[in-house]
Each structure stands twice: as C-alpha cells, then as structure tokens.
Amino acid sequence: MTIKSAQTLVQEALSEVKTINTNEALNLVKEKKCNLIDIRDVRELERDGKVEGAVHIPRGMLEFWIDPNSQYFKEGKLDLQKEMVLFCAAGARSALAAKSLQDMGFENVSHIDGGFAAIKQSELKIE
C-alpha cells in the first residue's frame, strides 16, 4: 500500500486550484464578488483575530455547510453564485479545501496564497 503524503496532496491541489494574492482578494471583497471564507479552527480565530467580512466555516465542516442537500447546510450563509475565496493560516488547508469544492462541482473557487499570515500584511482588516 502506498500512501500519499499530506505534502503531495497539497502540491496536487495547488496544481489544480486557482491561487490568488491578498490584493486580488481585497478587490473581490470590495467589489462584493466573492464569499471570503476562513477555514481556520475556532481556536486560531480566537488567538489571532478574524478578517473583517469573512465567513468562518471550520475546515472539517466546509463540504457539509456548503452542500444544499446536506442536513448541515447553512442557508443564506454564502452566495453560491459568487466566487468562493478560501484561506487558512498559511495556505495548505485552503488549497485542499478549494480542491474539495472543485470536486463537488463549484467552478469559481480560489484560495489566498500565504493565508492569514499574508492577510495580516495586507490591507484586509483584522478584527
């Protein structure tokens, strides 16, 4: 049995998903063209702060909360017609999550290069 490493999965996801920088994300937010989705753990949000205007969906619940057919679907939490822009702490989990959303059939998905670490250095506001 051969097991792919987490690093391999992340590299494969990065080759398949759209990666944007913080400036591109900021423009999408300003133009109201995206759902900015923070997939970090709640403890990370409490410790490091939240991004203004971001919707928090823990990584472990993403597919369930975003699937209209799931019993866990969060009605009205996201605009499913807009781009899904994901971020985590550094960019690995969000790449995997973006790939998962693409696998579900979402076509307009991206993730922020560098994650929250990059966001802290950008013009996006931290609460």
Which CATH number is 60's domain given? 3.40.250.10
pLDDT of the chain along its 127 residues, tens only?
A: 899 999 999 999 999 999 999 999 999 999 999 999 999 999 999 999 999 999 999 999 999 999 999 999 988 889 999 999 999 999 999 999 999 999 999 999 999 999 999 999 999 999 8
Q: Is 10 exposed, middle or buried (0-12, 13-18, 19+ CB in 10 A)?
A: middle
Residue 1 lies in a domain: no
Task: Give me the pLDDT at residue 16, please.
Answer: 96
Residue 63 lies in a domain: yes
Task: Give me the pLDDT at residue 35, please.
Answer: 97
Residue 126 lies in a domain: no
- Taking the model in full, what pTM does it have? 0.94
Structural tokens at position 109: 């998905």
Containing H/E element for 85?
strand 83-87
Residue 15 lies in a domain: yes
Task: Give me the pLDDT at residue 20, please.
Answer: 98
Number of domains in the chain: 1
Residue 66 lies in a domain: yes
d(CA 70, CA 73): 5
Residue 34 lies in a domain: yes
Q: What is the DSSP string of 15-74?
A: HHSEEE-HHHHHHHHHTT-EEEEE-S-HHHHHHH--BTTPEE--GGGHHHHH-TTSTT--
Range of the domain at 95: 6-120
